[in-house]
């Protein structure tokens, strides 16, 4: 028998009434959540895999919480890697509200794949638990076509697992939820670079090693060899170090630098380059490099630079500064040297490539090249993009602690250089990088280290069989 023609099975007025009632119920019994659509930044063309996405829009929306007894899912699970949160949330939202107040603002954005309905991959911020949930499935046919129409979307959500997506909704409460998550690098900065200052002490006695000549650079020097200089008969012994280099995977000695010119030599000392050696458990000795040879130049008249003392190590050097010695009083030969810096950007030592000749006894002038850093100014803002001026690397600010001068950045597209200036796009803050520690993956629930520490207190893993008898 056909349906009764005198009763309408879904007139527009009936459908309108049902939709209005649902909207009213959602405003009364619902929770105000923030809907954050996903924007696709990069997608693979073959498998259509989204490799980079961002979330920079937000829309307030009322939603009914279907899971009325807390969160669904497996809950909080203790694993061998720490606590794993498997919370799930099911929300019901108005189809009309989404189509009238959210879709029009999403329609013109080319980075949004679907704008007519909620899409899997979008985020929902749930304020009661201050958590971000990811939409895993959108059910649009429940209840099933009442009066010939669907009125709601049912969003099945899981707790969002952050993977370095860009989240910049301009709502601090939401954006700061990912402050301590994801891969991040703590850049140690400094505000002002200073030049190193030192004094060049001249040799008081004659018979010093003025220069070392590398006659053969050898090969295979994967470890720095030792430079041996014969003993002085009456004074200080000369000492030197070998600097190695690699060209096309061929390791050789680049140069020899004098660390102490010595004194009291009457004949030219012999210079021997001793290769580093490693002896295996079977007694076989492997030598790291062969063939390098050198000779020395001995000066017995006049004074040269004996060593360089540092009174100020400086700060902000991204590469070793130049070293310039004053002209000797006799004008015979000006000394030359090489400065070395550490990861903190300070000068650690100065070695001589030529001690010079003709200096007055006492001290000589020495000048270091200028520090590459600039004066630091400003305050970095959370989530702003910072750019390294030399490397061109960009990243987003996760945290800035001006007291410790540590800038935490994430979403890096390269590697920052030590010594370069890093500038904020919004704040215009700029400081120089003192050091770039290795990045780490931040997870507030990751407890691997704690679990391993406690396990080591129970079992003695130094034993070959910790479960056997002593």
Tens of pLDDT along 165-190?
A: 888 888 888 888 777 777 888 998 88
CB of 304 closer than 8 Å to CB of 203: yes
Predicted TM-score (pTM) of this structure: 0.57
Distances (CA, A) of 382 to 103, 416, 424: 29, 19, 10
Helix locations, 84-168, DSSP H:
95-101, 103-106
Regions in the chain scoring below 70 on pLDDT = 1, 68-70, 73-85, 204-205, 373-375, 441-452, 455, 459-470
As a whole number of angstroms, the distance between CA 146 and CA 355 comes to 96
pLDDT at 287: 87
pLDDT at 411: 85
Strand order in the sheet with 50-55: 39-43, 50-55, 166-167
As a whole number of angstroms, the distance between CA 177 and CA 442 comes to 12
Conformation bin of residue 359: beta by default, left when phi > 0, alpha when psi is -120 to 50: beta
SS3 210: strand
Distances (CA, A) of 445 to 50, 70, 95, 160, 182: 26, 20, 36, 13, 12
């Amino acid at each position: 028998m056909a349906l009764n023609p005198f009763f309408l099975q879904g007139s527009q007025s009936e459908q309108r009434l049902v939709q209005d009632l649902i909207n009213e119920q959602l405003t009364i019994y619902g929770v105000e959540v923030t809907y954050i659509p996903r924007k696709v930044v990069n997608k693979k063309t073959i498998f259509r895999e989204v490799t980079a996405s961002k979330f920079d829009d937000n829309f307030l929306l009322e939603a009914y919480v279907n899971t009325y007894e807390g969160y669904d899912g497996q809950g909080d699970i203790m694993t061998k890697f720490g606590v794993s949160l498997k919370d799930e949330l099911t929300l019901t939202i108005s189809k009309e509200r989404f189509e009238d107040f959210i879709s029009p603002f999403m329609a013109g954005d080319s980075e949004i794949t679907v704008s007519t309905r909620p899409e899997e991959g979008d985020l929902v911020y749930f304020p009661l638990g201050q958590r971000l949930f990811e939409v895993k499935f959108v059910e649009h046919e429940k209840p099933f076509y009442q009066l010939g129409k669907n009125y709601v979307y049912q969003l099945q959500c899981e707790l969002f697992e952050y993977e370095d997506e860009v989240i910049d909704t301009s709502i601090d409460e939401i954006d700061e939820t990912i402050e301590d998550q994801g891969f991040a690098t703590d850049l140690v900065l400094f505000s002002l670079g200073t030049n190193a200052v030192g004094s060049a002490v001249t040799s008081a006695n004659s018979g010093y090693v003025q220069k070392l000549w590398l006659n053969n650079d050898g090969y295979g020097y994967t470890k720095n060899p030792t430079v041996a200089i014969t003993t002085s008969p009456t004074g200080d012994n000369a000492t030197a170090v070998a600097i190695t280099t690699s060209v096309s995977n061929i390791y050789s000695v680049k140069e020899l630098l004098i660390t102490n010119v010595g004194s009291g030599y009457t004949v030219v000392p012999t210079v021997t380059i001793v290769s580093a050696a490693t002896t295996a458990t079977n007694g076989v000795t492997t030598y790291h490099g062969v063939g390098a040879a050198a000779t020395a130049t001995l000066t017995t008249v006049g004074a040269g630079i004996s060593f360089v003392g540092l009174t100020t190590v400086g700060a902000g050097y991204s590469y070793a500064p130049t070293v310039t010695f004053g002209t000797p009083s006799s004008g015979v030969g000006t000394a030359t040297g090489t400065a070395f810096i550490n990861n903190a950007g300070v000068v650690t030592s100065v070695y001589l490539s030529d001690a010079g000749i003709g200096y007055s006894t006492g001290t000589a002038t020495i000048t270091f090249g200028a520090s590459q850093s600039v004066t630091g100014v400003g305050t970095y803002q959370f989530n702003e993009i910072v750019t390294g001026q030399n490397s061109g690397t960009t990243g987003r600010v996760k945290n800035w602690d001006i007291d410790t001068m540590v800038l935490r950045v994430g979403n890096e597209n390269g590697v920052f250089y030590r010594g370069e200036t890093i500038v904020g796009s919004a704040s215009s803050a700029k400081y120089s990088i003192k050091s770039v520690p290795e990045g780490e993956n931040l997870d507030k629930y990751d407890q691997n280290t704690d679990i391993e520490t406690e396990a080591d207190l129970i079992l003695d893993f130094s034993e070959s069989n910790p479960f056997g008898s002593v």
